[in-house]
Amino acid sequence: MNKQLQSMSPQLSNADLAPETNQQWSWYSIFAFWMSDVHSVGGYVFAASLFALGLAGWQVFVCLLAGIMIVYLFANLMGTPGQKAGVPFPVVCRLAFGVKGANIPAIIRGCIAVVWYGIQTYLASSSFIILALYFFPDLKDLQSESFVGLSYLGWMGFLFMWIAQALVFMFGMPMIRKVIDYSGPAIYVAMFALCGFMLYHTGWGAIHFNLSSHSLVGWDNVKEMVIAIALVAGYFAGPTLNFSDFARYCKNKKQMKIGNLLGLPLNFIVFSIFSVLIVSASIPMFGQMITDPIKTVQMLDSATITILGALTFILATIGINIVANFVSPAFDFSNIAPQKISFKCGGFIAAIASLLMTPWNLFNNPDMIHYTVDLLAALIGPLYGIVLVDYYKIRKQKIHLADLYNDTASGQYWYNNGWNTRAIIALIIAGCASILTSFIFTELANFSLFISGAVAAFSYHWLMLKSTASISIMKAEANL
């Protein structure tokens, strides 16, 4: 370990938060990371929903490509400091927020992940229930009684998924890497089989890429295309924000960028094509458009496809939940008290919290999930703006690695007793702007991520330029 890091403060470090010294991930692991994130029930429904906006097929593909290129750009930007220093997202946040203030963005991201971890686990339990009822039909009697809003069979499915994910997480990042290396490709196998089976019964003549019941003209086309692009970028805002949690393991920046290129533009477009083919085939096959892949699998008269589909969706959900909603809070909560909360302990705190919040009740209450998720998500855009402006504009991509773990006034990231109040003020200002666009000026809600990010970036940059502390930051020597 670097001599400068031998004196790391125990209040800011542990084995999981310390810089990664064995950066061995190649482009494939990053490619597989994005496959795990894209290949989900939510991703399937999201891709299909864009084709129902009233746009022509070619317009939707243009939007998909434009939106995912924005995600690709921000993945590279957000992943670079983590890869360069070998540190996770909450440690990267110490640059802008201070060594103690970094807990603010960490807790925000961690809470968002907990909510979605519970919801994704609940949704995926449907796949387990399909398998359970297929092999043991008598279990349907367990659906008649419930506890805390969930049937007994629902509890079986939820706990199965909950325990399966916890078991993977128990073995740490090496096992997580293996899961994401295989879960993403596995869904392609299932989708290829499902698509082939449905096309065999419907024929290519029944397939079309215009799934909307209405068409748009004039400027309405442009408006919906811009909205679609913003929706694509917003859909991946969470995992892209904490991408440093994974980029830190990359051999170099080139490997990270190659993995991002293959895993985002290429993979997302291919996955979207498969999704639309299957949804389009559901119309002639079932007499209605079905956008839920689990329901599609359930309605097919094929034991092999049903079993393969259910098992694959279970694996895919484990992959995306660990990638998007388990690793992030594990690092985030560990950052709060490194000597008391390890990476694994942080992950289990997230898992237990996701169970206690009874996600099925949250999901089945549209108003509650809207306010809970949207209020938390309102702060994602500001975090982008602050972190990126600080690293690329204020610090010129320089990091003093030792000071990320220095809890004394001599450290560059100590600011005011460990807190950078300018970053906090910018976060509050931009957070208010985000809430206004999400709940008051709702016609701008789809662009809240970009609006709040821009407000945070300008606010933070202005506040830092007005600060005498920023002068020393810009002149400081960095060891990376």
d(CA 457, CA 36): 30
Asked if 463 and 422 touch (Cβ cutoff 8 Å), the reply is yes
pLDDT of residue 406: 93
d(CA 324, CA 22): 23
pLDDT of residue 78: 97
pLDDT of residue 375: 66
d(CA 51, CA 156): 35
Domains, the chain, ranges and CATH?
A: 26-365 (1.10.4160.10), 378-480 (no CATH)
Q: Which of 316, 365, 379 is nearest to 43 (CA)?
A: 316
Q: Which of 259, 269, 245 is nearest to 28 (CA)?
A: 259
* Model pLDDT for residues 78-123, shown as the tens digit of each residue: 999 999 999 999 999 999 999 999 999 999 999 888 888 888 888 7
pLDDT of residue 382: 95
Q: Which of 173, 190, 151 is nearest to 334 (CA)?
A: 173
d(CA 345, CA 340): 9
Encode the chain (480 residues) as per-residue pLDDT tens digits. Answer: 445 456 788 899 998 999 998 899 999 999 988 988 887 777 777 777 777 777 777 788 888 899 999 999 999 999 999 999 999 999 999 999 999 999 999 999 998 888 888 888 887 788 788 888 888 888 888 988 889 889 999 999 999 989 888 888 888 788 888 887 777 787 788 788 888 888 888 888 877 776 666 666 667 778 888 988 988 888 888 889 999 999 999 999 999 999 999 999 999 888 888 888 888 888 888 888 887 777 787 787 777 777 877 777 777 777 778 877 888 899 999 999 999 998 889 888 988 998 998 988 877 776 666 566 666 667 899 999 999 999 999 999 999 999 999 999 989 999 999 999 999 999 999 999 988 887 788 888 888 889 999 999 999 999 998 775 554 555 554 444
d(CA 186, CA 179): 10
d(CA 210, CA 156): 39
Asked if 298 and 130 touch (Cβ cutoff 8 Å), the reply is yes
Contacts of 406 (CB under 8 A, 6+ apart): 7, 8, 9, 12, 99, 412, 413, 414
Q: Which of 387, 419, 439 is nearest to 92 (CA)?
A: 387
pLDDT of residue 315: 78
* Model pLDDT for residues 39-79, shown as the tens digit of each residue: 777 777 777 777 777 777 778 888 889 999 999 999 999 99
pLDDT of residue 213: 64
User: The dihedral of CA 76, 233, 89, 244: what is its sign?
Assistant: negative
pLDDT of residue 179: 80
pLDDT of residue 204: 84
Helix axis angle for 448-465 and 421-439, nearest 10°, is 150
